[in-house]
Homo-oligomer: A and B are copies of this chain.
Amino acid sequence: MRDDPTHLAEQVSSVLRHLVLLLRRTVAGQPVTSQQYGVLGSLEGGPRRMTELAEEHAVQLPTMTVQINRLEDAGLVARGSDPADARVRTVELTGEGRARLRAVRQARIGHLTRELAALTEEERATLAAALPVLAKLGRS
């Protein structure tokens, strides 16, 4: 019974709770919120339209509008227009936005790297093996 799905589900549930709390602690008080960071990340490859951003982040369009408004006020992104379709607004990183993104990413990866460095080689291997499985969850 040790490896039946229900028992495993309870364990996963408990670990997930731990990870969520950990994330909350890690993220608190950074120069951009985690949502803002996520949006900036989506813009790294070039301008995107509002609908794309909303879908990618699984939020409604008005939510993304507000989010982008804040980022625009902060000078991290700029709105533009699609010459081919006057309905669509595009959003792209400003120089400052790009710099901020880099800095926050570095801080986050650095934090996580230090956590992982505290593990043994074997534990890291175990974790690495499980990542593809975790990535598969919810895709079914």
| Copies of chain A in the complex | 2
- Chain B residues contacting A5 (CB-CB under 8 Å) are 113-114, 116-117, 124
A115 near B134 (CB under 8 angstroms)? no
Looking at A16, A26, A57, the one whose CB has the most chain B CB atoms below 10 A away is A16
- In the bound complex, CA of A43 to CA of B10 (Å): 18
A109 near B58 (CB under 8 angstroms)? no
The answer to whether the Cβ of A1 comes within 8 Å of any Cβ in the partner chain is: no
Q: Write the nearest CB–CB distance from A88 to chain B, whole angstroms.
A: 24
- Chain B residues contacting A127 (CB-CB under 8 Å) are 8, 12, 130, 133-134
Out of B15, B26, B119, B137, name the residue touching A131 (CB < 8 Å).
B15
